A and B are shown apart, each in its own frame.
Chain A
Amino acid sequence: MPQIELEHVYKIFGRHADEALELLQRGVARDEVQEKTGAVGAVIDASFGVEQGEIFVVMGLSGSGKSTVVRTINRLFEPTAGTVRIDGENITEMGSKDLRRLRAEKISMVFQHFALFPHRTVLENAAWGLEVQKVESDERLRRAEESLDLVGLSGWGDSYPGQLSGGMQQRVGLARALATNADILLMDEAFSALDPLIRREMQDQLVDLQENLRKTIVFITHDLNEAMRLGDRIAMMKDGQIVQIGTGEEILSDPANEYVASFVSDVDRARVLTAEAVMEEPIAVVLKREGPSAAMREMRQRQVSGLFILGPGRKLIGATLDDEVIAAVRRGDLSLDNITHTEIPAVAPDTPLAELFMPSAESALPLPVVKDGKLLGVIPRVTLLAALARAETAPTDMKEIQIPSEEPESEGSETEPEGQSQEDHDDRTEAEVPHA
C-alpha cells in the first residue's frame, strides 16, 4: 500500500468552485472554465501513490499546480474534491485535532524560502515541531540538537537564522523537518532559492540522508536536472494536470507529449543517462575454464585485443590482453590464472554517464557494467563518446522550446559542469566531459 495516496484530487480557487468542479470533471478545459466561472482549477484530477522510502518528484512550470497539490497532502489546502490517504487513512475527513496530530507526527515540510522563525534561535527553530507537540524542554532541545548534527549544523544552535547563509538556513529548515521524526517529508522547491553550487551540495546531502533515513519524500522542483538527480519517480504537471508519471529514464526516453519533451530537452543528459542505458552486449568474453587457446581463438575471431574472463554464473573475474594470451599459449599454460588481471575498473548499472569517464580512461578495455559481481554489459569508449555527443547536441537542437524560468540558477545549472570543476569534489569526472 502506498504511504501517500491521492485519488482524483481537485483544488479550485475562487468562487463558484462547485460549478467549476462540475465543468472540469466533465472534461472542459481549464481556461474555458476560468472564463465561464472565474474559478481557477489549480489541481485537476490528480491521482498518484507514493511508496514508503521513495523520493517522488513533482515537476512542472510555474503555476502548474505543484505547490497546491503538495499542500493538499498535509491539508494546508483543503481539496475541493477527491481523497488523500496517508497510510490508508482518509485525511480529507479528519477533524482539526487529528489533523494537527497527523501534521505533528507524520508529515513535515520544508519551504522554498525557508520560512524560518526569525525571532527564534536556530535551535528553537529546529525544536518547533516538538514544541508544538509539547515535548518536554530537555528532550525537545536534545532532539533538535541531534537533527542539527544530522544536517551538519552542530554548534550553530544559538545563532539566529538571519546570521546564516542561504544554504545554512535551508539546512535549519531541513533540521526542523527532521526533528519530529515524521515519516513523510514534503519539500516545496526546497532548494530553488539556493545558488547552484550550494544547491548541488544540498541535493547530495539529501541523497545521503535519505540513504539512512528512508523517508517518504515528495519533492517539488521545476528543474529537471534536480528531478532526475533526486527522484525515484517523477510526476510531470501541466496546467493543473498530471501528464506523466515515471522514472527519470522513462520520462527521458519516452516523453508522453510535447510538453514533457520540451522539459526533457533541457536536461543535462550526461547526468541523467546511466551506464545501464548506454551499455552494450558483452561479446568479447571467455570462460575461465576454457583456457588460453580458447581465449586466443576468441580474440582472433572478434578482432579484439582484450577479453573479459567470466566464472560460473557470468561472474566477472577479470580481464586479459592479447600479448599475454599469446605468451601463455607459447608457454603451454593450461589455465588463464597467470594472466588474469583482477583489478580492472567496473561500474554499477545506475552510475550516471558523467561518472563513467574517469574509469573508462583508466583502461584500454571497454568498461564492464557489473551488478552483484555479474557482468551485465560493457561500454566501449566509442559508445560513451557517442552518447555524450547526443547529450551535448540535444539541448541546442531544441533551443526554441527551452523552458521559461524565472530563476537564473536553473539556467546556471546547464553550464555548471565546466564552472565547478575545481570546487565540486564528487563530480570530478564532469570536468572532462565537454572536451572529451
Chain B
Amino acid sequence: MPELPRIPLGDWVDSLVDWLTTNLTGFFEVISDMLAWSVGHLEDLLLLPPALVLTVLLALFAWWIRGRGFALFTLLAFALIESMNLWERSMSTLSLVLVASFIAVAIGLPVGIAAARNETVSTAVRPVLDFMQTMPAFVYLIPAIFFFGIGQVPGVVSTLVFSMPPAVRLTELGIRQVDEEVVEAGEAFGATPRQILTKVQIPLALPTIMAGVNQVIMLALSMVVIAGIVGAGGLGGAVFIAITRLNVGLGFEGGLAVVILAIFLDRVTSALSDRATLYEQTE
C-alpha cells in the first residue's frame, strides 16, 4: 500500500495563529477591550439593585410579557438563585450570554439576509456555519485564549462563534420562506429591494428569525460552562470548580441556576416571537 503524504494542515493552522497573534495584536486588543467593557458594564448594571429588587422587577416583566404563572416562576426561581448564593455568578453569566447573543444576532442577521438574497453567499456561508457549530468548542477556545488572553473575553468570543449559526440559518430560512407571490406583489408596485426587505420580507420572516434568536440564546447559555474553564467565571466557573473538586452538590446548584436562566430566557424570547406572529392568529 502506498502511503499518502501527510498533509501538515495542523502546522499551517499553527503558523496562521502565530502570525495572527503577532501581527494583529492591536486589533485583538481593541475587540478585547470593547467586549470586556460591555460585559463588565452590563454586569455592573445588573448588580446595581439588590438581588430581591431585581427579582421583583424581572417578575413584573415576566408578568407583562407572558402572564401570572411565568411571573410566579420568575419570582421563586430567582429568589432560589439568590438563596443558593449564586446571584453574582448568575448575573455575570447572564451579561456574558446577553452580550454574546447580541453580537451573534447583530452579525448573523445581515449575513442571513445576504445569504437569502444571494445564492453564492448562501453556498459560501453554509460550510462555515457547519464548521462553527460542530468543531469541538475546546479547539477554538485555545486560539481564543491566544488572541484575547484568559478571562471573560475569550468566553464571549467562543460563545458567540458557537451560537451564531442559528441566527444566520433561520434568518435565511425565514426570508426564503416568504411567499414568492407576496414578494412579487411588492415588486409589482415598484418597491425598491430595500423597501421589500424591510417592509415585507423581514416582518414576515420575524417569527422564524425570533426562533433563531431563541436558539442563539440557548446555545450561548450551554456554552457558559465551557467558557468557565477559560476563566470566564460566572456559573460556568462555579460548575468547573465543583467538577475539579468532585463536589456534586455545588455542581448541581450551579447547573440548576443555569437551567433557571435558560427557562427564563427561553420563555421570554418565545413570548416575543409569539408577538411577532400575532397577526396570524387572528385568522
Contacts and interface: CB of A to CB of B under 8 A. Distances in A.
Same complex origin of A and B: yes
B45 interface: no
A193 B190 CA distance: 25
Interface stretch (B82-90, B154-162, B176-184): B176-184
Contacts of A104: 189-190
Complex A-B, nearest 8 residue pairs according to Cβ-Cβ distance, in ascending order: A104-B190, A162-B283, A103-B190, A115-B185, A115-B181, A129-B189, A109-B188, A100-B190
A118 B204 contact: yes
Contact of A109 (B185, B280, B282): B185
A111 B279 CA distance: 21
B187 interface: yes
B189 A119 contact: no
Interface in A223-249: none
Contacts of A113: 179, 181
B192 interface: yes
A108 B282 contact: no
Interface in A391-436: none
Interface in A144-197: 160, 162-163, 176, 180, 186
A129 B188 CA distance: 9
Interface string B191-218: 1100100011001100000000000000
A129 B190 contact: yes
A115 B182 contact: yes
Contacts of B185: 109, 111, 115-117, 128, 176
A119 B192 CA distance: 19
A101 interface: yes
Contacts of B280: 118, 162
Given A118-B279, A119-B203, A163-B283, A128 B189 contact: yes
B207 to A, nearest CB: 10
B191 A100 contact: yes
A133 interface: yes
B190 A117 contact: no
A76 interface: yes
B181 A112 contact: yes
Contacts of B200: 117
Which of B187, B188, B192: most chain A CB closer than 10 A? Answer: B188
22 contacts: A76-B187, A76-B188, A100-B190, A103-B188, A103-B190, A105-B190, A108-B189, A113-B181, A115-B179, A115-B184, A115-B185, A116-B182, A117-B200, A117-B204, A119-B203, A129-B190, A132-B186, A132-B191, A162-B280, A176-B185, A176-B189, A180-B189
Contact of A162 (B192, B204, B282): B282
A301 B147 CA distance: 115
Interface residues of B, number: 21
B283 A111 contact: no
A159 to B, nearest CB: 8
B190 A160 contact: no
B279 A132 contact: no
Interface in B242-258: none
A133 B191 CA distance: 8
A95 to B, nearest CB: 13
A122 B77 CA distance: 44
A160 B281 CA distance: 10
A162 B278 CA distance: 11
A112 B279 CA distance: 22
B187 A103 contact: yes
Interface string A82-121: 0000000000000000011111110111011101111100
Contact of A160 (B191, B199, B279): B279
A396 to B, nearest CB: 37
A74 interface: yes
Given A74-B188, A162-B283, A132 B181 contact: no
Nearest to A132: B191
A290 B279 CA distance: 76
Contacts, number: 76
A143 B199 CA distance: 20
Contacts of A103: 187-190
B274 to A, nearest CB: 14
A131 to B, nearest CB: 8
A128 B190 CA distance: 10
A132 B190 contact: yes
A127 B279 CA distance: 18
A109 B187 CA distance: 10
A202 to B, nearest CB: 18
Contacts of B188: 74, 76, 103, 107-109, 186
Contacts of A99: 190
Given A115-B181, A128-B186, 9 more contacts: A74-B188, A99-B190, A103-B188, A103-B190, A105-B190, A111-B181, A117-B186, A119-B279, A129-B189
Contacts of B195: 132
B241 to A, nearest CB: 49
B190 A111 contact: no
Contact of A76 (B184, B199, B204, B282): B184
A172 to B, nearest CB: 11
Nearest to B189: A129
A197 B87 CA distance: 66
Contact of B192 (A100, A129, A176): A100
Nearest to B206: A119
A112 B179 CA distance: 13
A115 B195 CA distance: 16
A74 B188 CA distance: 7
Contacts of B189: 103-104, 108-109, 128-129, 132, 176, 180
Which of B182, B186, B195: most chain A CB closer than 10 A? Answer: B182
A160 B282 CA distance: 8
A162 B279 contact: yes
Contacts of B184: 76, 109, 111, 115
A151 B282 CA distance: 23
B182 A117 contact: yes
B283 to A, nearest CB: 4
A239 B191 CA distance: 32
A101 B190 contact: yes
A129 B192 CA distance: 12
Contacts of A186: 188
Nearest to A133: B190
Nearest to B180: A115
Contacts of A109: 184-185, 188-189
Nearest to B193: A96
